[in-house]
Amino acid sequence: MADEDTNPSGVERGVSMDQDGKSNVWAIEPKMEIENKSNEEKTGGTLLAVGGFVAFAAVAAGVLTNLPDPDQF
């Protein structure tokens, strides 16, 4: 067949030839990436995110409670 003649290495490149000699380009799915993080790394990231949110909430609460009274103006 045409695929075997044009690519002797056997590696699919995403291109083939049909009966009329026209080239057909098709997608090759990328290899899946597997996450290799340990539970300790995941826990550390989660604690950092929660700590950042708590710090943001504390600053926001402090700013909102110290706004001037709008009826004063």
What pLDDT, on the 0 to 100 scale, is given for residue 12? 58
pTM of the model: 0.46
b (16+ CB within 10 A) / e for 2-12: eeeeeeeeeee
**Domain parsing of the chain, residue ranges:** 2-27+36-67
Q: Which amino acid is at 7?
A: N
Q: pLDDT for 27-62, tens place per residue?
A: 778 888 887 888 888 899 999 999 999 999 999 999
